[in-house]
Amino acid sequence: MPNVFVYGTLRKGERNHHFLDGAPCTFGQCQTNGSLYDTNNGYPVMKENKSSWIYGELYEVTESQLRAIDRLEGFEEGSQDNLYNRTTVPVYNDSGGKVSAIIYTAGQTLHKSTKRIPSGDWLVYNYLKQDEILYFAYGSCMDEERFKLAGVDQYFANLKGRGILNGFKFSFSRSTHDGGKADLVENSKEIVEGKVYQISHEALEYLYKREGVVANAYRPAIVPVMINKLIYPVITFIGMDKSAETKPTELYATEIIRGGCSLLSNDYLQKIQQKIDRFN
């Protein structure tokens, strides 16, 4: 079955995702080299660029699904006037796995698109058009003491409750000069608990700096988080350049446990504490 990398309206929650009904999702978080642009027609387009990344999802599709996607994307084999062209590229998951996949890139008309999407993520780009944002904190950003020390606690006053993220595991897989940092790794058998805040764009600016987005330490991502048995799209941050798990500093580990103890389940907190203790 062909692999297809989707980065726009074919993604989960988007209007054309039904074209992938029944198609197995190999990676829900993956990337390939390219630049992403807004066509101003309600959908994005990718242009080839080896120095940047775009983010999306990888699916195994049937031949009939592939033909339907070809029609959606305005692609016809051998035509010189396609809306999108079709090519095969290497796609990488967040843990370094690589798969060859079909992707649809800018045809002659769409190559004129100039409104670049800096994050390389269509879901993030659209989500941030909202006035109010839901943010999922799962590491030291759960610790209100850190917010107070930074003088930004007012940005995080609207706590919506405990969030549960399915399909990921908690890992100290962001290795830094001062120990391992909390990260999300895609894993269909695991869940991650955290705090969900309703925040402003001003708070998000602080988080982008704290998470080192410009330095490519973490990237923003939109994930489905359950709050009080309802699922919401929520922004969070996922580590780049993952490594083997590294021991966190005592202070950093304390911030995570202290931040989660008022809201997260005892079983989950015990699991995180056991992970920390195994480094000793």
Active site residue 211: yes
Name the active-site residue from 73, 193, 211, 255: 211
DSSP one-letter string for 94-140: TTS-EEEEEEEEE-TTGGG--EE-TTS-HHHHHHTTSSSEEEEE-SG
Report the distance separating Cα 195 and Cα 262, nearest Å. Answer: 10
Residue 164: C-alpha distances to residues 57, 151, 224 (Å): 21, 28, 9
Question: At residue 49, what are phi and psi to the nearest 5 degrees?
Answer: -165, 115
Instruction: List, in sequence order, every residue forming a beta bridge with 231; answer none if it has no partner.
Output: 226
Assigned token pair, 235: 């922004």
264 CB contacts (<8 Å, ≥6 apart)?
A: 142, 162, 193, 194, 195
Q: Give me the active site residues, please.
A: 211
